[in-house]
Amino acid sequence: MNYNNSRFLLSKRPKGMPENDCWTLNSEIIEDLNNGEVLIQTEYLSIDPYMRGKMNDGLSYTPPLKIGDVMVGESVGRIVESKSKKYAIRDLVTIHQGWQTFIRAKDSDPSLQRVPESNLQSSVFLGAIGMPGRTAYYGLNYVGKPKAGETLVVSAASGAVGSVVGQLGKLHNCKVVGIAGGKDKAQYVTEELKFDHCIDYKNENVAQKLREYCSDGIDIYFENVGGDITKDVSKFLNKGARVPICGFISKYNSPDIASEETPFHVLGGLKPKPQHRFFVVTEWLNQFEKTTAILLEHIKSGDLKYKETITQGFENAPQALRDVLSGKNFGKQIIEI
């Protein structure tokens, strides 16, 4: 059986916010599979801030996309054809093979992961139980190393990663203070996610509120934003503080990100210098299956709540990325194919 795959290809590098002409919507016919291959019909596509950096032609922790490449991203879907001994038709899987409606993949692809069946919508395996959830889990536990009674501050606290970080921090018996943009997001963080406090950086003085909420200083700062937020938080970091750096979205649309002041500049200039490092979720690739199971149990028990913004239609992926980069989405941004 032949399948018509729609895919977004990178057609030019953006300057600032990526506009529609940065991509070409292309279609291809997928025919017979080879031995050891599977074909996945995508149900949902994840939209994440890191995608903007992959569109630049510059140095990063992974090579940039080339012009003509499929736009990067993770999907969840079901296998509709299989010539693999490892995977069967109807298996639910996630895979990191970009913006496509059908994905042909080798069963040896390290990003191909079978996910457990549950009564949850499969999109959750792209969010709280997926790459953002695992990013939160590893960054907090292995880089932040929380201890009971410590103060944890999380920027982009209502987002896909930050929301999980804060809730895990509460399970470690930390005092958790979020930073989010807008009254609705700040209210959600305290009332639904049960952070101790949340600072609305759009309408409140961040430094003043940090002084009020973090009277014993800050032991862990989970960095998602950069810019002025980092500068404000840096004033209150305790000796021995740890800063997992997940990203700094405030600078992602810069025409020359290499010339921007990053969290590394701000934190590296402090005396004493806090422990800080950039990390990527794939450092713990061999733990993905175990971590997915842990996060799933937290959701089933009610310890972990999540919010999704689901946009209908594959063709709306470019706008969804712009929404993420400008903070218009709420929680995890998903495209329903």
Using the 3D structure, point to which of 265, 282, 299 is the last residue of a domain.
Answer: 282
Quick one: average pLDDT of 189-217? 98
CATH of the domain at 116: 3.90.180.10
What pLDDT is recorded for position 125?
A: 96
pLDDT exceeds 70 at position 104: yes
**pLDDT bracket for residue 117 (50, 70, 90):** confident
b vs e for 79-113, b when ≥16 Cβ sit within 10 Å of the residue's Cβ? bebbebeebeeebbbbbbbbbbbbbbbebeeebbb
Structure tokens at 91: 């298996």
Q: What is the pLDDT of residues 91-101, one digit of tens each?
A: 999 999 999 99
Where in the sequence is the domain holding 42, given as residue range(s)?
3-127+307-336
What pLDDT is recorded for position 239?
A: 96
Contact 162, 178 (CB under 8 A): yes
CA neighbor of 38 nearest in space, from 133, 111, 115, 106: 106
Report the distance separating Cα 160 and Cα 231, nearest Å.
23
CATH of the domain at 147: 3.40.50.720
What pLDDT is recorded for position 10?
A: 98
76 & 118 share domain:
yes
Q: Does residue 74 form part of some domain?
A: yes
Report the distance separating Cα 123 and Cα 127, nearest Å.
7
Q: Does residue 38 form part of some domain?
A: yes
pLDDT exceeds 70 at position 211: yes
CA neighbor of 299 nearest in space, from 93, 113, 136: 136
pLDDT exceeds 70 at position 316: yes
Q: Which position has the higher pLDDT, 171 or 62?
A: 171
Contact 142, 117 (CB under 8 A): no
Name the 3-class secondary structure at 96: coil
- Specify the number of domains making up the chain: 2
Name the 3-class secondary structure at 264: helix
Report the distance separating Cα 118 and Cα 161, nearest Å.
22
Lookup result for tokens 């982009």: 156
Average per-residue pLDDT for the chain: 94
Structure tokens at 32: 């017979």
pLDDT exceeds 90 at position 258: no
Structure tokens at 5: 């795959």
**Burial (CB count <10 Å: 0-12, 13-18, 19+), residue 206:** middle
Alpha helices (H) in the chain, listed in sequence order = 50-54, 131-138, 162-171, 183-191, 206-213, 228-234, 263-268, 288-301, 317-325
Quick one: average pLDDT of 100-129? 95
31 & 84 share domain:
yes
E-only strand ranges, the chain: 3-10, 23-30, 37-47, 75-82, 92-95, 102-106, 113-114, 151-155, 175-180, 197-200, 218-222, 237-245, 275-278, 308-312, 332-336
146 & 260 share domain:
yes
Q: Does residue 274 form part of some domain?
A: yes
